[in-house]
Chains A and B, each alone.
Chain A
Amino acid sequence: MSDTRIKLKGKSPFKEMVMKLLPDGGNLNDCLTCGLCASGCPATGMDDMDPRKFLRMAALGMDEEIRKSRWPWFCTMCTRCVHACPMKINIPQLVFNARRLRPRDEMPKGILGSCDMALSKETNSAMGCTKEDFSFVVEDLLEEIKEEYPIWEERNLQAPIDKEGAEFFINQNSREPMIEPEEMGPLWKILNLVGVDWTYGSAGWAAENYCMFMADDNGWKTLTERSAQKCDELGCTTFLNTE
């Protein structure tokens, strides 16, 4: 127990703001303080914090302490606490919104860098993979597979980019083209065996979205729109996440 006396400030502008954003105010005022959330949370105890304490701090108007806390970056917003909560309180959304309380340049560097990198490339790649890099890697790998296993030439294995009218628009995490391109082949082969009509997009193919993790709504929207627009432009009917 801390022996520091907490000075209460009454209403929390932070909690009020979050409640306005959420359906039913995220039930943020309904806490029974039972602790089911904290008992099943892997981030409980880190920096002496847990989901219940975090919600209580908001209820007590401790906005400054919330703003300074590192804990919102230790919570993965996995929603196991909501799953366990008898009142279905949306603590993860409280955490998500707490992330935006700090100025952009004070965000964790890795996440900020990944978000900014993705925004600067029309591919959305947080690792900076360009259109040219991507098509080079895809074409190179396709050739290698056909060389090693000629059966794929016969079976007409494809990895199309910007194929108009394909049914599925498939995205891909940047880690594959940038670090482990060999990991793309198995999926192409599976799609070939099923006879799926699919395509990557030259723009917006990257699946990761670090702006979202930073609660940067505009950046998140920009990246998502790029992918959706490319999918629409090609006339694909299904946007398919590789996960």
Chain B
Amino acid sequence: MYTLYATWIREGKLKPDPSWNDELGIKFTLQDPCQIVRKSFGDPAADDMRLVVKACVGEKNFIDMTPNKSNNFCCGGGGGFLQSGYKEQRLLYGQIKDSQIKKTGATYCVTGCHNCHAQIHELGDHFGGGYHAVHAWTILALALGVLGRSERIHLGEELQEVNLPDSSR
């Protein structure tokens, strides 16, 4: 899906506008999903994801984790860990990811996978980082000016009113 988003942006079929974040300067980082990057499509898919995120939030507002792409750490949400009943171990596993995200200083972590989304959301709460986990479609719709009021459940207070579409039409 991310490769398609990137293709559509390159072809001009999607025209996200990152200027909503020029003055706000809200920082975003990105979790490379193991399944999509390391295990399936490699670094080209990771580069496509970065193209999409930067096109939506602005180049200067994207901060990468280290290490990243094919060398990224798993967040701990994969392999069925979320449903295995071993919550204590799952959170312990996620400590590396939590500290990686905290080091970027980003308020938002774009998660390209449902398991990552659930796990990173929980890590932010559990370890007190306070960062949010958001799906890529959320920031893409935000930068396209089509993200409705009710579609902002994973966004913080500061983004509830930003780039809202006109509801009168």
Residue numbers of A with Cβ under 8 A of B are 40, 42-43, 46, 70, 73-80, 83, 108-111, 113-114, 144-145, 148-151, 173, 175, 180, 182-183, 185-187, 189-190, 193-195, 207-208, 210, 213-214, 240-243
Contact = CB atoms under 8 A, between A and B. Distances in A.
Interface in B41-68: none
Contact of A80 (B71, B79, B144): B71
Contacts of A148: 148-150, 167
Given A79-B34, A148-B148, A149-B165, A42 B96 contact: yes
B153 A193 contact: no
Contact of B70 (A83, A111, A113): A83
B128 interface: no
Contact of B137 (A43, A74, A190, A240): A190
Contacts of B39: 78-79
Nearest to B39: A79
Interface size class on chain B is 35 or more
Nearest to A187: B137
B146 A186 contact: yes
Contacts of A40: 73
Given A109-B85, A111-B83, 8 more contacts: A43-B89, A76-B78, A80-B72, A151-B165, A182-B151, A183-B137, A190-B144, A243-B1
Contacts, number: 147
A242 B38 CA distance: 18
Given A148-B148, A243-B36, A175 B114 contact: yes
A41 B96 CA distance: 10
Contact of A207 (B114, B140, B148): B114
Contacts of A208: 114
A128 to B, nearest CB: 14
A70 B86 CA distance: 10
A68 to B, nearest CB: 15
Contacts of A145: 148
Nearest to A70: B86
A46 B88 CA distance: 11
A196 B166 CA distance: 24
Contacts of A193: 13-14, 144, 146
A232 to B, nearest CB: 21
Nearest to A181: B150
B14 to A, nearest CB: 6
Q: Which 6 A-B pairs have the closest CB atoms?
A: A213-B80, A78-B74, A76-B79, A110-B83, A186-B141, A76-B78
A114 B108 CA distance: 30
A169 B97 CA distance: 33
A172 B128 CA distance: 30
B18 interface: no
Contacts of B127: none
Contacts of B35: 243
Contact of A150 (B72, B73, B135, B169): B169
